[in-house]
Amino acid sequence: MGMKENVSKPLDRLSSELAGDMAAVNTLIRERMASRHAPRIPEVTAHLVEAGGKRLRPMLVLAAARLCGYQGDSHLLLAAAVEFIHTATLLHDDVVDESEQRRGRPTANLLWDNKSSVLVGDYLFARSFQLMADTGSMQVMRILANASATIAEGEVLQLTAAQDITTTEDIYTQIVRGKTAALFSAATEAGTVVAGADPAVQQALFDYGDALGIAFQIVDDLLDYGGATTTIGKNVGDDFRERKLTLPVIKAIAAADADERAFWERTIGKGQQAEGDLETALEILHRRGALDAARADALAWVERAKQALTAAPDHLIRDLLGDLAEFVVARVA
Amino acid sequence: MGMKENVSKPLDRLSSELAGDMAAVNTLIRERMASRHAPRIPEVTAHLVEAGGKRLRPMLVLAAARLCGYQGDSHLLLAAAVEFIHTATLLHDDVVDESEQRRGRPTANLLWDNKSSVLVGDYLFARSFQLMADTGSMQVMRILANASATIAEGEVLQLTAAQDITTTEDIYTQIVRGKTAALFSAATEAGTVVAGADPAVQQALFDYGDALGIAFQIVDDLLDYGGATTTIGKNVGDDFRERKLTLPVIKAIAAADADERAFWERTIGKGQQAEGDLETALEILHRRGALDAARADALAWVERAKQALTAAPDHLIRDLLGDLAEFVVARVA
């Protein structure tokens, strides 16, 4: 999904706190990834699953469950299920976007082929539902089935909104819920459900995951235009070149004069980009305050995430989740 | 999956018997296919869902449930779920095989694009799990999650076995279970489960669906070489040109002399095919009795399917399911 998962500091502390659980989840992931009949499957998935991902989503499951005082082990099954859904979407995203690099390695569809990426993604998706069934909780099944539908819907919506400069902030939020926030909020909510938390706490952790996911994606969008600074980093401009309607651009288009509108129509709408256009885009984004406005939105989502946590039990992990939310937006402070 | 679903006569009788249920399933399919946020989704799926498919798999769900005296309506949810899984695999198969025609219409990925096919397939898969969750039966979830994993595994196995002339009949059976039989047997088994049938009846209908699915696919393989006759029909030879290791070819390779082995290695293994090779292939298949042997296998699976039904309740629908099994193989009698 193009997110730079630079959330290491509070996540490292969460990792230490949940180290035993995470080791068990990693073992479970390796076991359930295996296929007796089709050895190609772990070959394809190992590439992604062992590529040093931060395991942010399974961590959110574990954190939510432990925060609610859970002492069983269904949260391990659920954490593995969530990571499988995430990995399946990455595999399908590789096919879709023909992206050439992910996490610094060749994508699966260059190492293997489109067929393997589609089918192995399907396999992981099926495996994730088996893991959920093993939790024995119908509510967990429902939460993750709903999240899976929202993810696919968001991706389809992103396809149809791509390069359409009339895309609104409402549509953007729906897309972001699909591509990022739906799995975050499903992870945290389902974690409370296996722990048997009461509905208010379930809702609180859902809201936390949702707001965290949206903040995360807005920050990611900002970083692609160099954050709130005017310095152009080395990975700046990918979204511009791929003609993505991200939040800063949507805000700049809403405030555009006739010349700026023509610029966005040409570069994003029609994809006619020339030398110097990225610099012009950045200049307009700054002039219209679009980067600052997007950053303010991200900060507001972080506040919502932290506010949601006030309804959660008082616990070290609750504090770490609050720190995680602040850290996400600190990347563009 | 390349099956020619010419099973109309007994299926027509089943359709009449289950007409009210099927109308309700069709309504449910249209409702659940809709997406408030992403109108592209029903556009893509309508193409497949309304393309005049025989609805064989949902019919198997309904038949199994009614056969067990079921009077509720969870079997409708389940039938729609099974059709969504089937449609999702067709969409993903279109991406995978770059097949140009399905059911006489352009495939989704020619009408739309690969991205839409992958993502809309994912959406339908998620929707199918929502429908299952609505049945409230964890056992149903487990059966269909297992079937989904077997389907994906079978497809991956087919990829790795493609063009490999050392493929055995055992591997062939695993592939066929994945591509066809797993969803048949899940449909019939889950139908008995929502009906609250006892385990012996669940097993009987599972066995029926499994054997029916395998017979179905073997017959399909045979038809691709013109059935058991020596007449070459107009669609004969697709599998040969696509270098598929189908049952007749696997049997012929097992019985091959050195010259024949070299022929299969060149045409299927290396894909170096010339004018007249299909005729030579057919000649070898007949000489080695490979078509007759495959036909005998299909007949044996049909016998197993009918045998399994003896453990099911005495019911008009049971007789129609028996007729359906016989009709499948009558296509190559």
pLDDT digits (tens, 9 = 90+) for B181-216: 999 999 999 999 999 999 999 999 999 999 999 999
Are A141 and B133 in contact (CB < 8 Å)? yes
- What value does the mean pLDDT take over residues B98-125? 65
Both tokens of residue B159?
A: 């990829």
Predicted local confidence at residue B42, as pLDDT: 75
The answer to whether A266 and A252 are in contact (CB under 8 A) is no
What tokens were used for B38?
Answer: 């992403």
A136 contact B CB<8A: yes
Answer whether A114 sits within 8 Å of B96, measured CB to CB: yes
Give A175's Cβ-side CA count (13 Å radius).
Answer: 22
Which contacts of B273-277 are long-range, i.e. CB under 8 A and separated by 24 or more positions? B273/B240, B273/B241, B277/B240
Determine the pLDDT at residue B237: 87
pLDDT digits (tens, 9 = 90+) for B290-316: 999 999 999 999 999 999 999 999 999
To the nearest 10 degrees (0 to 180), the angle between helices B114-135 and B74-97 is: 160
Q: Which positions 25-84 of A are in contact with B (Cβ < 8 Å)?
A: 35, 37-41
Name the residue with tokens 């772990």.
Answer: A42
Interchain CB distance below 8 Å, B119 and A156: yes
- Above 80 in pLDDT, residue B107? no
How far separated are the first and last CA of chain A, in Å rounded?
A: 22
The string of DSSP codes covering B166-198 is T--HHHHHHHHIIIIIHHHHHHHHHHHHHTT--
Read off the pLDDT of each residue in A96-100 and give the average, rounded to a whole number: 42
Q: Do B138 and A142 touch (CB under 8 A)?
A: no
Residues of chain B positioned with their CB less than 8 A from the CB of A133: 138, 141-142, 145
Mean pLDDT calculated for residue range A266-270: 95
Mean local confidence (pLDDT), A267-289: 95
CA separation for the pair B137, B144 (Å, rounded): 11
Q: What is the pLDDT of residue A143?
A: 97
- Does A214 reach chain B within 8 Å, measured CB to CB? no
What mean pLDDT is predicted for residues A23-40?
Answer: 84
pLDDT at B187: 98
- Residue A314 DSSP code: P
Helix-strand-coil split of chain A, %, nearest 5: 75, 0, 25
ipTM over 0.95: no
Can you give the pLDDT at residue A226?
A: 83
Tell whether the model's pLDDT for residue B3 goes beyond 70: no
Give the model's pLDDT for residue A108. Answer: 52
Q: How confident is the model at residue A34 (pLDDT cuts 50, 70, 90)?
A: confident
Pick the more confident residue, B81 or B92.
B81
pLDDT of residue A104 exceeding 60, the answer is no
* pLDDT bucket at A156, cuts 50 / 70 / 90: confident
Say which residues have a Cβ less than 8 Å from residue B323's Cβ, sequence separation at least 6: B10, B13
Which of B82 and B45 is assigned the larger pLDDT? B82
The pLDDT value recorded for residue B97 is: 42
How far is B295 from B302, CA to CA, in rounded Å? 11
Q: Which residues of chain A neighbour B112 with C-beta distances below 8 Å?
A: none
* Cα dist from A71 to A65, A68, A140, A141, B255, whole Å: 9, 9, 17, 20, 60
Note the pLDDT of residue B104.
Answer: 44
B29 contacts B77 by C-beta, under 8 angstroms:
no
Interface touch B156/A123, C-beta < 8 Å: yes
Assess whether pLDDT exceeds 80 at residue A41. no
B155 confidence band (pLDDT: 50, 70, 90): confident
Domain coordinates in residue numbering, chain A: 8-330
Q: Which of B35, B95, B148 sits opposite A129 (nearest CB)?
A: B148
Record: contact A148-B136, CB cut-off 8 A = no
The partner residue sitting opposite B115, judged by closest CB among A96, A126, A157, is: A96
**What pLDDT score was predicted for residue A57?**
95
pLDDT recorded at residue B247: 96
Query: What is the pLDDT at residue A39?
Result: 74
- Rg of chain A over CA atoms, in angstroms? 20
- Flag whether pLDDT at A67 surpasses 50: yes
CB contact under 8 A, A115 and B96: yes
**A53 in helix, strand or coil?**
coil
Q: A-chain residues within 8 Å CB-CB of B95?
A: 95, 114, 118
Decide the pairing of beta strands A101-102 and A105-106: antiparallel
The identity of residue A105, as a single letter, is R
- Provide the 3-class DSSP secondary structure of residue B274: coil
The yes-or-no verdict on residue A5 having pLDDT over 60 is: no
Nearest CA in chain B to A129: B145
Q: What is the pLDDT of residues A158-187, one digit of tens each?
A: 888 878 999 999 999 999 999 899 999 999
Residues in chain B within 8 Å Cβ distance of A144: 129
Q: Is A38 within 8 Å of B142 when comparing Cβ atoms?
A: no
Q: Which of A1, A45, A142, A153 to mutate to test the interface with B (most CBs of B within 10 A)?
A: A153
pLDDT at B232 over 70: no
Judge whether B136 is closer than 8 Å to chain A, CB to CB: yes
Torsion angles phi and psi, residue A103, rounded to 5:
55, 35
**What average pLDDT does the structure give for chain B?**
87
Q: Which of residues 166-195 of B touch A (CB under 8 A)?
A: 174
| Confidence check: pLDDT of B5 > 60 | no
- Tell me the pLDDT band of A309, cut-offs 50, 70 and 90: very high
B180, with CB counted inside 10 A (0-12, 13-18, 19+), is buried
For residue B130, pLDDT beyond 90 = yes
Among candidates A95, A144, A148 on the partner chain, residue whose Cβ is nearest the Cβ of B118: A95
How buried is residue A199: exposed, middle or buried, by Cβ count under 10 Å (0-12/13-18/19+)? Answer: exposed
pLDDT for residue B4: 46
Q: What is the DSSP letter of B273?
A: -
Interface membership of A95 toward B (CB under 8 Å):
yes
Give the model's pLDDT for residue A331: 77
Cα–Cα distance, B103 to B106 (Å, whole number): 8
C-beta atoms surrounding A143 within 10 Å: 23
Least confident of A28-42, A74-88, B13-27, B272-286: A28-42
Q: Which top CATH class is A8-330?
A: mainly alpha
Residue A148 has pLDDT above 90, yes or no: yes
Q: What is the pLDDT of residue B11?
A: 83
Q: Within an 8 Å CB–CB cutoff, is residue B112 touching chain A? A: no
Q: How far is B135 from chain A (nearest CA, A)?
A: 10
Residue A117: per-residue pLDDT:
84
Chain B: nearest CA to A309, how far in angstroms?
A: 28
Tell me the pairing of strands A105-106 and B101-102: unpaired
Q: Is the pLDDT of residue A316 over 90?
A: yes
Instruction: Please name the residue of chain A whose CA is at the shortest distance from the CA of residue B136.
Output: A138
CB contacts < 8 A, A to B, total 146
Instruction: Look at residue B286 and tell me whether its pLDDT is greater than 70.
Output: yes
Tens of pLDDT along A201-250? 999 999 999 999 999 999 999 999 986 554 555 568 888 998 899 999 99
Q: Which of A115, A151, A164 to mutate to test the interface with B (most CBs of B within 10 A)?
A: A115
Q: Are B294 and B253 in contact (CB under 8 A)?
A: no
Query: In chain B, what residues touch A136 (CB-CB under 8 Å)?
Result: 138
